[in-house]
Amino acid sequence: MRKANFYMPTRQRFYAIQSHWIAEHQTCDLHVRDITLRHRAEQTLEHQAYHHPVTGIGNRSYLEKTANQWIAQQQTFNAVMIDVTDFKLLSENFGLADALACIYSVGYFLQSSVQQYASVNSEPDDVCLFHVADACFMVLVKTQGPAHRLASLLSMLRTKLANTIDTPMGAMRFHVTFGVSDYPVHSVDYNTLLLHTNIAVEIALKNNQEVHYFNADDGAYHQRRLIITRRLEQALKHNELTLYYQPKQQLSDGRVQSCECLLRWIDNGEFISPGEFIPIAERSGLILVLGEWVLDSAFNQARAWYEEGRQIQIAINISARQFLQPGFAESIERRLREYAIPASLIELELTETSIMDNHQLASAVLMELRALGVSLSIDDFGTGYSSLAYLSAFPVDKVKIDRSFVSQMVDAPKQQAIVLTICQLAHNLGLKVIAEGVETDVQRELLHQYGCDYLQGYLFARPVPASEAVNLFN
């Protein structure tokens, strides 16, 4: 019913009136009832059912409803999953409530960006954003229209997300991964569409890609990942992993008094590369359990050698999640007491990104570790932020030049210059330099000329079990 230029929802009932004296006429009563409040309540319930309770963005149910409508209309479209990969670190460092508040800020930012894009480049209903999980968003974009629509949308989002976003915790920069699937090219229904975007995100994370487009071969990867996850859980449960040790040679005198422990897994005769199972462990959440196992195994080996009278320092790789886990420094202190070894026998290797992603928290943890007396080094130096200004502020002892520079330095003057610069600047800061991936005498000679302190690589020794590594120390 319309009244005073607005529509009012009503419920109408007609009642027939019969009378013996108006038999020749047919009349009725019309009863009209205002149901505005009930209508609003129904709208509220529907909105709650299909929208995120905080951001107000369409939720997973609305995504399914919209996708199925587009499928029924025989639309062709792309699904883009947007995964905020910082969420686990945020929740571990700030608590779940504050981490979610930061994610909501990302949601508002995405909503504004998508609406702005749609208003200029397409019909408003051709591009839709959904908030489908705590740190996961989805965009559906119709492909009936400009051929470049998906590419321009991704380009716009990547550009905007490269900037800081205002959050309740201050301005922050987020790491975001995109997974893209196509309907109907790769998916026959909503469920497979959702699965394929998930797989695309996982592969992007595994390969350190910002964007991955699902293809027919990716299904096999998904099956392999599930198998590896189950087998790794069993391997941890039954202690089927092992540590190998690769010695480091001191270039000044040729002595070998330190090594790096490297994780190895042989499952039913199959060697499974750390490059395959460690990213899977990070994605599945097993990385923390795996990290604890490595720490205990390395400390145990350090104690065994120490009891034999050998002062051998073991370098242990620490993942970003493990390093920023609350109580990490306390866990190292506890192990030093339990295994009764000098702190100087332990070196912790951290990647640049694990320090720089949250440099304030990282600096505090590093100070705690330094107070314990353990050695600290930055692994893969030169591949990440490479900020020597930040490096000088962190209490680290060593930097390790990434193997990608070492492998190319003989034939590439630019790589030589990078290696020389790292050596000189690190020494100016009072840091030792380790070069990994050294395989030739020419590389060794150049590194010696540049003043590199330690070398590690196949030229001297491959990673071997502890029983073999002990023969290489002097």
For the chain, how big is the Rg over CA atoms in Å?
Answer: 30
pLDDT value at residue 68: 93
106, two tokens: 């990302």
Same domain, residue pair 94 and 159: yes
Cα–Cα separations (whole angstroms), residue 37 to 48, 79, 400: 16, 37, 68
Please work out, in degrees rounded to the nearest 5, the angle formed at the alpha carbon of residue 178 by the alpha carbons of 172 and 181: 160
Domain boundary at 216, 251, 272, which?
Answer: 216
CB atoms within 10 A of CB 190: 18
Does 81 have pLDDT greater than 70? yes
What mean pLDDT is predicted for residues 349-363?
79
Q: Is 47 among the domain residues? A: no
- Domain-embedded: residue 357: yes
Q: What is the CATH number of the domain that holds 274?
A: 3.20.20.450
361 shares its domain with 446: yes
Q: Are residues 164 and 231 in the same domain?
A: no
Q: What are phi and psi of 373, to 5 degrees?
A: 100, 5
CA–CA distance from 39 to each of 7, 57, 454 (Å)? 12, 22, 75
Confidence of residue 463 (pLDDT cuts 50, 70, 90): very high
Query: Among 146, 181, 216, which residue terminates a domain?
Result: 216
Q: Are residues 243 and 137 in the same domain?
A: no
Say whether pLDDT at 384 is over 60: no
Q: Which two tokens stand for residue 411?
A: 């034939």
- For 310-395, where are the alpha helices, taking DSSP H only? 320-323, 328-339, 352-356, 359-372, 388-391
How far the first Cα of the chain sits from its last, in Å, is: 95
Kindly state the average pLDDT of the residues 334-343.
Answer: 97
Q: What does pLDDT average to over the chain?
A: 86
Please list the residues that pair with 170 across neighbouring strands: 167
Residues 279, 204, single domain; the answer is no
Residue 44 predicted with pLDDT over 60: no
Structural domains of the chain, count: 3
**Pair of tokens at residue 342:** 């000098």
Query: In which element (H, E) is residue 154 found?
Result: helix 149-161
Query: pTM, whole model, 2 decimals?
Result: 0.68
Specify if 386 maps to a domain: yes
Residue 62: CB partners within 8 Å, gap ≥ 6? 50, 51, 130
Q: What SS3 state is found at 325?
A: coil
pLDDT of amino acid 35: 59
Domain presence at residue 45 = no
Q: Using 50, 70 and 90 to split pLDDT, how confident is the model at 313?
A: very high
> In this structure, are 319 and 440 located in the same domain?
yes
Task: For residue 184, say if its preceding peptide bond is cis, omega within 30 degrees of 0.
Answer: yes
Q: Tell me, what's the pLDDT at 17? A: 55
90 in any annotated domain: yes
Residue type, 44: T
Asked if residue 14 has pLDDT above 70, the reply is no
pLDDT higher than 80, residue 8: no
> CA-to-CA distance for 202 and 225, rounded, in angstroms?
9
Say if CB 243 and CB 463 are below 8 A apart: no
Q: pLDDT value at position 213? A: 92
pLDDT tier, 145 (very low <50, low <70, confident <90, very high otherwise): low
Q: Would you tell me how many other CB atoms lie within 10 Å of the CB of residue 207? A: 9
Are residues 26 and 92 part of one domain?
A: no
State the pLDDT at residue 372.
Answer: 97
- Tell me which of 43-57, 200-214, 322-336, 412-426 is least confident: 43-57
Give the long-range contacts of residues 121-127, CB within 8 A, separation 24 or more.
121/146, 121/149, 121/152, 121/153, 122/146, 122/149, 127/153
Question: Mean pLDDT over residues 300-310, rounded?
Answer: 96
**pLDDT at res. 47:** 60
What does the pLDDT read at residue 233? 93
Residue 45: predicted pLDDT: 55
| Comparison of pLDDT for 226 and 316, the residue scoring more | 316
Predicted local distance difference test score (pLDDT) of residue 447: 94
Asked whether the beta carbons of 385 and 351 are under 8 A apart, the reply is no
Q: How do 77-84 and 27-34 pair as beta strands?
A: unpaired
Residue 364 resides in a domain? yes
Which of 186, 216, 246 is at the close of a domain? 216
337 with 421, same domain: the answer is yes
The Cα 252–Cα 448 span in angstroms is: 8
Question: In whole angstroms, what separates CA 411 from the centre of its chain?
Answer: 35
pLDDT of residue 23 exceeding 60: no
- Looking at residue 6, its pLDDT comes to 57
* Residue 46 in domain: no
Same-domain status, 59 and 9 = no
For residues 210-223, average pLDDT: 86
Residue found under tokens 């790292």: 422
Per the CB < 8 A criterion, the answer to whether 244 and 262 are in contact is yes
Contact 41, 23 (CB under 8 A): no
Q: Which neighbouring-strand residues pair with 270?
A: 267
Position with higher pLDDT, 92 vs 387: 92
Percent of the chain with pLDDT over 90: 46
pLDDT of residue 206: 80
Q: How far apart are CA 316 and CA 377, in angstroms?
A: 10
Q: Which domain holds residue 10?
A: 2-40
295 and 430 fall within a common domain? yes
62, 123: one domain: yes
Arithmetic mean of pLDDT, 443-463: 93
Tell me the mean pLDDT in the region 311-339: 94
β-pairing, 136-142 with 241-250?
A: unpaired
Residue pair 323/354 in contact (Cβ under 8 Å)? The answer is yes
Query: Which CATH number does the domain housing residue 121 bear?
Result: 3.30.70.270
Asked if residue 291 is part of any domain, the answer here is: yes
Task: Identify whether residues 35 and 60 lie together within a single domain.
Answer: no
Q: Report the pLDDT value the prediction gives residue 430, as an integer from 0 to 100.
A: 92
DSSP symbols for 110-138: HHHHHHHHHHHHS-GGGEEEEEEETTEEE
- DSSP string for residues in 52-74: -TTT--B-HHHHHHHHHHHHHTT
Residues 6+ apart with CB under 8 A from 25: none
Share of the chain above pLDDT 70, in %: 86
